[in-house]
Chains A and B, each alone.
Chain A
Amino acid sequence: MTATSEPGQLRPGLWQTVNDRYPGSMITKDGLVPLAPLHKPLSQARLSFVSTSGVQPRGTLPFDVVHPVGDYTFRRVPSDSSPAQLEIHQLKYPTDGAHRDLNVIFPIERLQELRYEGVIGGLTPDLFTFIGYNMDPGLLERTLAEDLAKAVADEQPDLVLLSAA
């Protein structure tokens, strides 16, 4: 549990508040990872997308959004899915916009358009989602983060777009 407020932070003191209310729930990182350069033009690069939106194919096991310490699993979303084939199991962020147009939080149609137009070289067969409410950072790092990183790497993307929700 470490206070990490920095001068440039938009809401100074926020992390202290989070740490006080949910002790041990914050992962604190001291350093930055080195930049990994893209070794080919974007128009030839295969993109994957990882989102904490909790979007999942209809009919797949819903995320456990009411578990007190969270759900440490992830879901695969085929990158050729239509929004009508997907749904959201999530209580922790406003989904009013997403229920009218899923692209506001999981922009699958925009990604498909970028692929068809050749802006990007392609999409990985699956995209990935999990839910952001996970209150045990150690468990998250040992399970979800490791499992998800392996699953994404196995799809051999050249770059990965990450988005919170």
Chain B
Amino acid sequence: MTEHVKPPRAVFVPFRMGHHFGVPFHRELQRRVITDALDLVTTATESGTIVDLPLTWAQARREGIAIEQEGGRR
């Protein structure tokens, strides 16, 4: 979809639909998706740049479950 829309700059996250910024209560991950996107504003050199963030849904879920088991937020 991202390739079809042809945005000038984009980051791609391999997350579930409806969870583009990560998993519940994982503040670090939610923030990272935003800041990595904002970094592209200054680092992209040509329109159409799409960066695949080195993240996985499995890892995000594992970390999210751990955060909730700790009873906190990270």
Binding site for B on A (CB under 8 A): 4, 6, 8-10, 15, 26, 29, 31-36, 38, 42, 47, 93-98, 100-101, 103-105, 107, 109-111, 113-114, 119-120, 159, 161-165
In Å, the complex CA distance between A25 and B30 comes to 31
The reply to whether B31 and A110 form a contact with Cβ atoms under 8 Å apart is yes
In Å, the complex CA distance between A96 and B17 comes to 11
**By the criterion of a CB under 8 Å from any partner CB, how many residues of chain B are at the interface?**
33
Question: A51's closest neighbor in chain B, by CB?
Answer: B20
In Å, the complex CA distance between A148 and B19 comes to 23
The reply to whether A94 and B16 form a contact with Cβ atoms under 8 Å apart is yes
In Å, the complex CA distance between A163 and B33 comes to 11
Number of A-B pairs whose CB atoms are under 8 Å?
Answer: 100
- Can you sample 5 A-B contacts with CB below 8 Å? A35-B9, A35-B47, A95-B18, A104-B24, A114-B31
Question: B14's closest neighbor in chain A, by CB?
Answer: A10
**B 25-53 to A, binary, CB cutoff 8 A, 1 in contact else 0:** 10100110111011001101111100000
> What is the interface of chain B mostly: helix, strand, loop, or mixed?
loop
The reply to whether B17 and A94 form a contact with Cβ atoms under 8 Å apart is yes
Given A32-B47, A35-B44, decide whether A101 and B35 contact each other with a Cβ distance below 8 A.
Answer: no
In Å, the complex CA distance between A98 and B30 comes to 12
The reply to whether A101 and B5 form a contact with Cβ atoms under 8 Å apart is no
Given A42-B38, A120-B38, decide whether A101 and B25 contact each other with a Cβ distance below 8 A.
Answer: yes
The reply to whether B17 and A93 form a contact with Cβ atoms under 8 Å apart is yes
| Cβ contact of B41, chosen from A9, A110, A159, cutoff 8 A | A159
Question: B46 contacts which chain A residues (CB < 8 A)?
Answer: 35
Given A38-B41, A111-B34, decide whether A29 and B18 contact each other with a Cβ distance below 8 A.
Answer: no
The reply to whether B4 and A104 form a contact with Cβ atoms under 8 Å apart is no
Question: B50's closest neighbor in chain A, by CB?
Answer: A8
Give A114 Cβ to nearest chain B Cβ, in Å: 7
The reply to whether A119 and B35 form a contact with Cβ atoms under 8 Å apart is yes
